[in-house]
Amino acid sequence: MSIPCTLESYLKEQCIDYTLVRHPHTGASMDTAQAAHVPGDHLAKGVVVNQDGRYLLVVVPADYHVHLGRLHEYLGEPVGLATEAELAGLFPDCEPGAVPPIGTAYELRTLVDRHLMNLPEVYFESGDHEHLIKITGARFADLMGVAEVVDVGRHI
């Protein structure tokens, strides 16, 4: 599959130049970073949370977990992780679990961890488990333009 239509169209609309990086099939973001020979702190992963029936995309480095307590404190109400069925409905053109961290392409409110915002280059899931998209850090910051920059991650 490589890049789903929704994401590809959005990147084209935003005039984002990118490189597609192929890697062996993986299921977890840190395994992906290792297989693609990418530093875990340069691989942006999207984590979808449910806030009382509304979905948010939280983008953190692959070597981080979303700290739900900090997120609850930031939002002022409890959140929980979205289920696989919910993800399938939100990202219908992506493989299960291969969530691209570009929430605006999927009309999701997005929060991005500050650790991703000043890197020279950033990698992220393309929508399948065998390709990453590589872009400059400046272009990633452009894609995150409407995202709220937060500190809700915890290094693993």
Residue 1 and residue 133 in contact, taking contact as beta carbons nearer than 8 Å: no
Which pLDDT score, from 0 to 100, does residue 2 have? 77
Residue 132 and residue 125 in contact, taking contact as beta carbons nearer than 8 Å: yes
Beta strands in the chain (DSSP E): 19-22, 43-51, 54-61, 64-66, 80-81, 109-113, 121-125, 131-136, 148-150, 153-155
Dist CA 50 CA 59 (whole Å) = 14
Domain boundaries, the chain: 5-155
- The CATH fold of domain 5-155: YbaK protein (3.90.960)
One-letter amino acid identity for 94? C
One-letter amino acid identity for 46? G
Residue 27 is encoded by which pair of tokens? 């299921």
pLDDT in tens, the chain (156 residues): 579 999 999 999 999 999 999 999 998 999 999 999 999 999 999 999 999 999 999 999 999 999 999 999 999 999 999 999 999 999 999 999 999 999 999 999 999 999 999 999 999 999 999 999 999 999 999 999 999 999 999 999
